[in-house]
Amino acid sequence: MVFLWKPTLRCKCEKALAYWKAYDQRQAAEKAARKEEEEQRARRERIDRLIGMSGIKKRFQQRTFPNFVTDTQGRKRSYQTAKEYADNFAQHKAQGDGLYIEGTNGTGKTHLAAAIALQLINEGIPVICKTSNDLLLDIKKAYDNAGTTENQVLDAYRDVDLLVVDDLGKEQCSEWSMSILYTILNDRYEAMKPTIITTNYNVDGLVKALTPRGSDSAKAVAIISRLKETSAVLTMAWEDCRSK
């Protein structure tokens, strides 16, 4: 014999109504809290995945806007430019706008680039943030990895919402590296995908740094031309803060 469960009938007297009202409110609050907890956990897991996919190394995962020192007018202006870019990324993305952050060692270029990347990742936006050298090494590793092709790695760099290339110009320059960088940056340019560059060189110096010895500078010039067209230039020229 099967007995059908019937919900408890609720008394409609004044005390009972008050009790059930409070009970329902507690149940609703607990349900909302559980839902919020699940959403927060899912969000945290997504952010952790995005950080893992981003390539941001552990040291730079602590480089955020709140801990960037703004003790001079130059540092304050640089902070404001980078923060505006992060806060209005949807607009910059739609227009394909990037940033060209130039300056000497230790001025905070990587800090601000990482801060932009981390803010966007915390908003659920995919970002890749790597040195140009690591970017090229990843592609070289694909040659030795039977499960990954060069095109798969290139597609990740070409398609991500924001690509940050740190220390452009420090990589060992060759015809191959120049060809790879041109492919990635040109494809992003044509697709109106924003790119942030940090470098120790101004735009003229970067042409020389990217051109292999004894080779034509045409591809380097083409890369710089595209960066100049789509990027605001942020110059960070002051004393190395790491030497203090």
Q: Based on the domain organization, do 106 and 47 belong to the same domain?
A: no
Let me know if residue 3 belongs to a domain. no
Q: Based on the domain organization, do 113 and 140 belong to the same domain?
A: yes
State residue 160's pLDDT score. 94
State residue 240's pLDDT score. 61
Let me know if residue 6 belongs to a domain. no
Which segments of the chain are extended strands (E)?
98-103, 127-131, 162-166, 195-199, 231-236
Q: Based on the domain organization, do 135 and 146 belong to the same domain?
A: yes
Residue 93, class by beta-carbon neighbours within 10 Å (0-12 exposed, 13-18 middle, 19+ buried)?
Answer: middle
Let me know if residue 5 belongs to a domain. no
Q: Based on the domain organization, do 37 and 90 belong to the same domain?
A: no
Q: Based on the domain organization, do 127 and 231 belong to the same domain?
A: yes
Let me know if residue 140 belongs to a domain. yes
Let me know if residue 43 belongs to a domain. yes
Let me know if residue 7 belongs to a domain. no
Domain count, the chain: 2
Q: Mean pLDDT in runs of 10 for the chain (244 residues)?
A: 57 80 85 78 71 84 93 93 97 96 91 96 92 90 75 89 94 87 94 96 88 84 90 84 55
Q: Is residue 75 within 8 Å of residue 108, measured between CB atoms?
A: yes
Structural domain for 84, as ranges: 56-243
Q: Based on the domain organization, do 142 and 113 belong to the same domain?
A: yes
Among 6, 39, 54, residue at a domain's last position = 54
State residue 159's pLDDT score. 92
Q: Based on the domain organization, do 79 and 37 belong to the same domain?
A: no
| Rounded Cα–Cα distance for residues 138 and 128 (Å) | 12
State residue 85's pLDDT score. 98
Q: Based on the domain organization, do 40 and 113 belong to the same domain?
A: no
Let me know if residue 33 belongs to a domain. yes
pTM equals 0.79
Let me know if residue 9 belongs to a domain. no
